[in-house]
Amino acid sequence: MKNDKYLKDKLTKNQIKKINETEDYLTSQIDKENNVEVEKVERYINLLRLFYALDVYIEQSGPITIVKNASQEF
């Protein structure tokens, strides 16, 4: 995952559409003057982007287990 610094840029159009629809829905349900509620929505949307990005990465590379032992990596 080190090589994909901008993994979130690899989201599919469908994933981006779902994220945007979710953000629009959640934003319409909250008090936009309440900074705590706005922050919660922003954090949730960020988590969605990360989860979708991880799905893309796992589909590309398959599941990987890395074991670090001192300076060795397996």
pLDDT in tens, 6-62: 666 788 899 999 999 999 999 999 999 999 999 999 999 999 999 998 888 888 878
Q: Is residue 66 part of a domain?
A: yes
Domain total in the chain: 1
* Residue 11 forms part of a structural domain: yes
Give the residue, 3 or 59, on which the prediction is more confident: 59
Between CA 9 and CA 20, with CA 54 as vertex, the angle to 5 degrees is 55
Domain that holds residue 43: 7-73
User: Does residue 2 belong to any structural domain of this protein?
Assistant: no
Which runs of consecutive H residues, i.e. helices, occur in the chain? 13-29, 35-61
Q: Which residue has the higher pLDDT, 1 or 7?
A: 7
Q: Tell me, what DSSP letter sits at residue 30?
A: S
pLDDT score of 2? 47
pLDDT band at 71 (very low <50, low <70, confident <90, very high): confident
Q: From CA 74, how far away is CA 65, in angstroms rounded?
A: 8
Does residue 46 fall inside a structural domain? yes
pLDDT band at 74 (very low <50, low <70, confident <90, very high): low
